[in-house]
Chains A and B, each alone.
Chain A
Amino acid sequence: MKRISLVQIKANELVKILEILGGSNLENKLLSMGVYKGKSVTKLSHIGLKGPVVIKTGRSILALGHSVAEKIIIQRE
């Protein structure tokens, strides 16, 4: 199966997080902000080619730097 990350999908898609790559520091940080394995998120926008990705999860809106978004592997729902 091809693994797709948050940067590879279009805006307004609702997806489920499969895995968070990168160190445990990043994982913990995202975890404490409510972004973790199994959570559903909606991608709101993507600024420019290498810019940040904005997502909505629960009632929060989060901006993730491009390289953070690349590490979040997702599954389309």
Chain B
Amino acid sequence: MIKKIYLIGNPNVGKSVVFSRLTGVQVISSNYPGTTVEIAKGYLRLGNEKVQVVDLPGTYSLDPTSKAEEVAVSLLKEYPKEEIAVVNIIDSTNLERNLLLTLQLIERGFPVVICMNMCDDAGHRGVHIDIAKLEELLKSPVISTCALTGVGIKLLTERIKEGVSAPKGQFTHHERWLEIGKIIEQVQRLEHRHHTFREIIEDASVRPVSGLLMAGAIIYTAFKIVRFIGEGIINRITDPLFINIYQPVLEKLSSSWQQKGFWFHLLIGDLINGKIDFKQSLGVLTTAPYIEFGMVLPYVVSFYFILSLLEDIGYLPRLAVLLDNLLHRLGLHGYAVIPVLLGFGCNVPGILSTRVLESKRERFIAATLISIGVPCIPLQAMIFGLLGKFGGFYVVGVYLVLFSLVIILGVILNRFLSGYSPEFLLEIPPYRFPPLRMLWKKLYFRIKGFLVEALPIVLLGVGFINILLYYKLFDFVTAIFAPVVHGLFGLPKEAVVALAIGFLRKDVAVGMLMPLGLTANQLFIGATLLAISFPCVASFVVLAKELGLSGLIKSVLIMAGISIIVGSMLHFLILR
């Protein structure tokens, strides 16, 4: 009787894709090692029974050398070997490296079924593997699959219980590599090929000069495309929908409203020149949906489209190699670009994925730098929408301030924090071009996630703010913080409310700045402060979870200090 099925394999062999195929549970998969930082669980129907399937983080061997590997290995020991099935997923294009883990699993007596994944890719690259021979040599079932298209998955489920436990003595890694050499000789045939175009590009992207040129071009183009698609959606789809269809309905509702009291204030907000203004009215039915659907969502779509594309192609690990040098000076190493880039979408997955970094010190530095210097896409969208109309100069200015802050703060943290930063050691995957269908699926999954998390908070948040404003309950808070916000930062005292709301959601906070009639410079300071000050409540929770209480307190003190210093510096530099 099998109680659990574990999926185990080297990093980046497609475990998560196989997992989705087996269980129907959608999880994010990308073309870089370490996408799975949380353990995913789902169910597979085998005849009449439902068996739990666990997607373990990637590991190179059963002697763990990192935190993620430790987790994988300890989970394997939860149940007696007779009660589990272990599916060892292998990247067929790189059988040799993958077999080390396979041999270890067999030696230790795990009932293993071997899943030779990415079989189509192996064919394209001229790698031919004799599956029957491999099965004979390993004395375990071997199934050839291509999880992206679903080939072989049915056969895998049929044979999933056929693994047998046959423990052998323990060998050393050197002995295993010798054994692997012999196996490879018998089962793998490589077609001799000339360098393909893909391989030439793969090489060029990790060489110093060509690599940096490519990185510059890719980042610039990616940013331009995000703006282009985002603005395109706003101008062609969402703005026409809001202005031509939604506004007339609301105007009708507003003009038939008899007593414009509490409920009017809550739902519609203030009328600007007798009309509803989506950017300034601040009602639950007016500004709230406009911020979320009309300003933020278009950029969420365009950002995740580009990020998912870069992830799936496998560009990000190459960027990590190129930036390793710079990031070393901040106490991090190259792989920190992954959490940082995810953080540009939303700080929550960014901070969560700092788990790919090994030492506590690195995770602290990365999480703190992300909370301070990496604005999430909703905040960026609002900055584009608001500051953009004063000229691109201001938008670029915000990024420049944030970038300099990250560098300065990183250098300081690296110098004064104790502990060590472990070395950079990363496998670079080949470029892959997964079917567009996978890209759409991932995009849909991420956008849905965004809407489910953001929309309720935005609607409730705007409602809550309106109630507080209606009963003038903010006046007290405003009075306390006015000296700081007005005296030090040069913003009107009403901006206190906006900065406070930043704790709830950054996009709504910028939205609160809209009706204040700020000058371009004031708006610039306000937006920059919103980016660097307190993280929103969702990021706050993951920060607490990842850093622990003392780490959180340290991180928050740093944020508060920096906000005050930067806010006053900007004020005296550009407003005076």
Chain B proximity of A67: nearest CB distance (Å): 6
Cβ-defined contact, B97 with A65, below 8 A:
no
CB-CB nearest in chain B for A29: B65
Task: Give bound CA distance, A61 to B429, whole Å.
Answer: 7
Task: Give bound CA distance, A74 to B177, whole Å.
Answer: 19
Return chain A residues, CB-CB under 8 Å to B65: 25, 28-29, 32
Cβ-defined contact, A58 with B97, below 8 A:
yes
CB-CB nearest in chain B for A62: B427
Cβ-defined contact, A52 with B94, below 8 A:
no
Judged by a CB distance under 8 angstroms, whether B148 is at the interface is no
Cβ-defined contact, B324 with A65, below 8 A:
yes
Cβ-defined contact, B423 with A26, below 8 A:
yes
CB-CB nearest in chain B for A31: B173
Cβ-defined contact, B334 with A58, below 8 A:
no
Query: From residue 3 to 50 of chain A, which have CB atoms closer than 8 A to chain B?
Result: 11, 25-26, 28-34, 36-37, 44-48, 50
CB-CB nearest in chain A for B122: A59
Judged by a CB distance under 8 angstroms, whether B428 is at the interface is yes
Task: Give bound CA distance, A33 to B426, whole Å.
Answer: 10
Cβ-defined contact, B208 with A47, below 8 A:
yes
Instruction: Pick the interface stretch among B19-27, B314-322, B376-384.
Output: B314-322
Return chain B residues, CB-CB under 8 Å to A45: 203, 206-208, 211
Cβ-defined contact, A29 with B173, below 8 A:
no
Chain A proximity of B54: nearest CB distance (Å): 22
Chain B proximity of A38: nearest CB distance (Å): 9
Chain A proximity of B31: nearest CB distance (Å): 13
Cβ-defined contact, B321 with A63, below 8 A:
yes
Given A34-B177, A47-B325, A58-B94, check contact A63 B317 (CB 8 Å): yes
Taking residues whose C-beta sits less than 8 angstroms from the other chain, chain B's interface range is: 35 or more
Chain A proximity of B176: nearest CB distance (Å): 9
Cβ-defined contact, B60 with A33, below 8 A:
yes
Task: Give bound CA distance, A9 to B65, whole Å.
Answer: 28
CB-CB nearest in chain B for A58: B96
Judged by a CB distance under 8 angstroms, whether A54 is at the interface is yes
Return chain A residues, CB-CB under 8 Å to B127: 59
Judged by a CB distance under 8 angstroms, whether A73 is at the interface is no
Task: Give bound CA distance, A16 to B175, whole Å.
Answer: 18
Q: Indicate which residue in B173, B203, B208 contacts A32 across the interface (CB closer than 8 Å).
A: B173
Task: Give bound CA distance, A58 to B202, whole Å.
Answer: 16
Return chain A residues, CB-CB under 8 Å to B203: 44-45
Judged by a CB distance under 8 angstroms, whether B281 is at the interface is no
Cβ-defined contact, A47 with B322, below 8 A:
yes
- Of the candidates B211, B321, B325, the one having the most CB atoms from chain A within 10 angstroms of its own CB is B321
Given A46-B208, A47-B211, A59-B96, check contact A33 B173 (CB 8 Å): no
Cβ-defined contact, B97 with A61, below 8 A:
no
- Of the candidates A47, A60, A63, the one having the most CB atoms from chain B within 10 angstroms of its own CB is A63
A contact patch SS: mixed
Judged by a CB distance under 8 angstroms, whether B100 is at the interface is yes
Contact with A along B203-218 (1 / 0, CB 8 A): 1001110010000000
Chain A proximity of B530: nearest CB distance (Å): 35
CB-CB nearest in chain B for A11: B207
Task: Give bound CA distance, A63 to B334, whole Å.
Answer: 10
Chain A proximity of B33: nearest CB distance (Å): 10
Return chain B residues, CB-CB under 8 Å to A36: 173-174, 177
Q: Indicate which residue in B211, B325, B334 contacts A50 across the interface (CB closer than 8 Å).
A: B325
Query: From residue 274 to 319 of chain B, which have CB atoms closer than 8 A to chain A?
Result: 317
Cβ-defined contact, B61 with A47, below 8 A:
no
Q: Indicate which residue in B63, B94, B426 contacts A63 across the interface (CB closer than 8 Å).
A: B426
Cβ-defined contact, B325 with A61, below 8 A:
no
Cβ-defined contact, B427 with A51, below 8 A:
no
Judged by a CB distance under 8 angstroms, whether B425 is at the interface is yes
Q: Indicate which residue in A28, A47, A65 contacts B333 across the interface (CB closer than 8 Å).
A: A65
CB-CB nearest in chain A for B424: A65
Task: Give bound CA distance, A62 to B321, whole Å.
Answer: 10
Task: Give bound CA distance, A67 to B425, whole Å.
Answer: 10
Judged by a CB distance under 8 angstroms, whether B93 is at the interface is yes
Chain B proximity of A30: nearest CB distance (Å): 7
Cβ-defined contact, B322 with A30, below 8 A:
no
Chain A proximity of B202: nearest CB distance (Å): 8
Query: From residue 458 to 504 of chain B, which have CB atoms closer than 8 A to chain A?
Result: none
Cβ-defined contact, A62 with B423, below 8 A:
no
Cβ-defined contact, B63 with A32, below 8 A:
yes
Query: From residue 418 to 468 of chain B, which have CB atoms closer than 8 A to chain A?
Result: 423-428, 430
Cβ-defined contact, B325 with A34, below 8 A:
no
Query: From residue 326 to 383 of chain B, which have CB atoms closer than 8 A to chain A?
Result: 328, 333-334
Return chain B residues, CB-CB under 8 Å to A11: 207
Cβ-defined contact, A33 with B427, below 8 A:
yes
Cβ-defined contact, A34 with B96, below 8 A:
yes
Report the 7 A-B pairs with minimum CB-CB distance, sorted nearest first.
A65-B424, A32-B61, A32-B60, A51-B325, A65-B423, A61-B428, A45-B207
Having A32-B61, A45-B211, A64-B425, one finds 12 other A-B pairs with CB under 8 Å, namely A28-B173, A31-B173, A31-B174, A32-B173, A58-B96, A59-B96, A61-B202, A62-B425, A63-B334, A64-B424, A65-B423, A67-B423
Show 30 A/B contacts (Cβ-Cβ < 8 Å), sorted by A. A29-B60, A33-B425, A34-B96, A34-B97, A34-B100, A36-B174, A36-B177, A37-B174, A47-B324, A47-B325, A48-B208, A50-B325, A50-B328, A52-B321, A52-B324, A54-B321, A58-B97, A59-B93, A59-B94, A59-B96, A60-B97, A61-B202, A61-B206, A62-B426, A62-B428, A63-B321, A65-B324, A65-B423, A65-B425, A67-B423
Residues of A within 8 A of B (CB): 11, 25-26, 28-34, 36-37, 44-48, 50-52, 54, 58-65, 67-68
Residues of B within 8 A of A (CB): 60-61, 63, 65, 93-94, 96-97, 100, 127, 173-174, 177, 202-203, 206-208, 211, 317, 320-322, 324-325, 328, 333-334, 423-428, 430
